[in-house]
Amino acid sequence: MNNRVSSKTVVDLDFDKQHIWHPYTSMTAPIPCYPVTSADGCLIQLQSGEQLVDGMSSWWASLFGYNVPALNQAATKQLGKMSHIMFGGLTHQPAVDLAKTLVEITPDGLNKVFFSDSGSVAVEVAIKMALQYWQSLGYAKPKFVALKKGYHGDTFAAMSVTDPDGSMHELYQDFVAKNYFTKQPTIAFDQEWNDSEMYELTKLLEEKHNQIAALILEPIVQGAGGMHFYHPNYLKAVRKLCDQYNVLLIADEIATGFGRTGKLFACEHAQISPDILCLGKAITGGYMSFAATLTTKKVANTISQGKAGVFMHGPTFMGNPLACAVANANLAMLFNSDWKLLVETIALQLQQQLTPCNKLKAVNKVRVLGAIGVVELHQAVDLASIQKQFVDAGVWIRPFGKLIYIMPPYIIKQSQLTKLCDAIFQVCEELSK
């Protein structure tokens, strides 16, 4: 504390360790952090001088890498007008433009847009929408159905629909609302479909639908809960069951949205539209935190004509113009690029270069979908030591549990992706010794 005004140009790692919490870490025994000074394209510049190829897209968020001229320009231009202005009683062109684009590109029927500040909040908003919808119609439906191994965020309503077993959320279980969980879809994306997959969920809905406001899922890819890719027919069947049993369907595309799985939205693999859709992460191309929850005219109007007469949510930074401007530039880049070809090319290379890991003893199985590559091990890794091995190999990959996975920016070069895949193979080979 004696050195309040630091003249240091290097990151004060000691202060960081003493005073700053990082995601999901201990304050007394934190895993080492690597100071970053800048990032450009797919390269992360460490303070030590090393450059790392980015395999994580900063947790699904970056599509075109870092320090992107068009995004910088959009941000700078918007800063000169206004960085922020309250959204209560005021509106602006960046928000209108973004909403127009989102209505146009998302699955049919989703044409009412609620902007918020992060993915977890977008999920909270979706949950409130579903509750208020049924309330407005005079039903008491206070429960939700979610999938085991699902992940929807770290705030409390989001936690209440995130897998309660083996996740950190069980720490708060006495406080978290109790919802229903159905088994994780077991039939993989490219396996043969069997209707028996739906048996348990059908039974649950048959018995409990009177209490259930909505079913929430991550379409096709269950992300943080296990990087599992499931069959599109599951989504189709869920859509049918929700209609049959008067349950809304919430699709959480916070991780899968904007092309990551090979379709613009993962719902398109099954050609279904949810009643409520959550977007986040890549919406600003990884530049800043922003999210949106979209719903149908039917849901929005029902809420608006209910007892409250309004939808009860309104974050301070709702519709932040700076984030909207960057999101608009990011989506313009996406549609001006051949993103589908970029994602397919990454998928092909991931297939070719990660598949050899299958023969290693430490590896359980390899799977690839779109620009997502996963090597599932038999045993959980030691994060600190494996992270160092990856940094030494010149790549940024952050595994969790038994999963080593990458989802690089779409503009990654072939040689950079090879470097990521080679590093994974080497680390798995080492683990197999």
Ligand X SMILES: *Cc1c(COP(=O)(O)O)cnc(C)c1O
Can residue 119 be called a binding residue for ligand X (CB under 6 A)?
Answer: yes
Closest approach, Cβ 5 to ligand X, in A, equals 33
Helices 321-336 and 69-79 cross at an angle (nearest 10°) of 150
d(CA 185, CA 269): 15
Phi first, then psi, for residue 359 (nearest 5°) are: -85, -5
Cα 133 to its chain centre, rounded Å, is 25
User: Radius of gyration over alpha carbons of the chain, in Å?
Assistant: 22
Report the residue number, 60 or 64, with the smaller CB distance to ligand X: 60
Please indicate whether residue 172 is annotated as part of the active site.
no
Closest approach, Cβ 108 to ligand X, in A, equals 22
From the candidates 149, 281, 287, 405, which is the catalytic residue?
Answer: 281
Report the residue number, 119 or 259, with the smaller CB distance to ligand X: 119
> With CB under 6 A as the contact rule, which of the stretches 20-28, 146-154, 186-194, 230-238 interacts with ligand X?
146-154
Closest-by-Cβ residue to ligand X is: 119
> With CB under 6 A as the contact rule, which of the stretches 138-146, 216-224, 262-270, 345-353 interacts with ligand X?
216-224
Residues 327-386 that bind ligand X (CB under 6 A): none
Which residues lie below 8 Å from residue 192, measured CB to CB, with a gap of 6+? none
Exposure letters 285-307 (e unless 16+ CB within 10 A, then b)? bbbebbbbbbbbeebbebbeebe
Phi first, then psi, for residue 229 (nearest 5°) are: -105, 115
Residues 173-212 that bind ligand X (CB under 6 A): none
In the chain, the amino acid numbered 180 is Y
d(CA 56, CA 103): 28
Can residue 224 be called a binding residue for ligand X (CB under 6 A)?
Answer: yes
Please indicate whether residue 24 is annotated as part of the active site.
yes
Query: 104 with 330: CB under 8 angstroms?
Result: no
Three-state SS for 124? helix
d(CA 264, CA 272): 13
From the candidates 24, 139, 172, 199, which is the catalytic residue?
Answer: 24
Closest approach, Cβ 10 to ligand X, in A, equals 29
The residues with which 374 forms a beta bridge, in sequence order, are 367, 405
Can residue 285 be called a binding residue for ligand X (CB under 6 A)?
Answer: no
Of residues 54, 163, 197, 218, which one binds ligand X by CB under 6 A?
218
Task: Region of 418 please: left (phi>0), alpha (psi -120 to 50) or beta.
Answer: alpha
d(CA 33, CA 139): 50
Please indicate whether residue 139 is annotated as part of the active site.
no
Can residue 163 be called a binding residue for ligand X (CB under 6 A)?
Answer: no
From the candidates 54, 117, 163, 252, which is the catalytic residue?
Answer: 252
Of residues 66, 87, 134, 151, which one binds ligand X by CB under 6 A?
151
Closest approach, Cβ 368 to ligand X, in A, equals 18
In the chain, the amino acid numbered 103 is V
Closest approach, Cβ 249 to ligand X, in A, equals 15
Residues 28-67 that bind ligand X (CB under 6 A): none
Question: Binding mask 244-263 vs ligand X (x if CB under 6 A, - otherwise)?
Answer: --------x-xx--------
> With CB under 6 A as the contact rule, which of the stretches 119-127, 175-183, 202-210, 366-374 interacts with ligand X?
119-127
Report the residue number, 47 or 58, with the smaller CB distance to ligand X: 58
Q: Total residues at the site for ligand X (CB under 6 A)? A: 15
Of residues 118, 293, 328, 330, which one binds ligand X by CB under 6 A?
118
Of residues 55, 185, 223, 286, which one binds ligand X by CB under 6 A?
223
Can residue 220 be called a binding residue for ligand X (CB under 6 A)?
Answer: no
d(CA 95, CA 258): 18
Of residues 152, 209, 239, 263, which one binds ligand X by CB under 6 A?
152
Which residues lie below 8 Å from residue 160, measured CB to CB, with a gap of 6+? 144, 176, 177, 178, 179
Q: Which residues bind ligand X (CB under 6 A)?
A: 118-120, 123, 151-153, 218, 223-224, 252, 254-255, 280-281
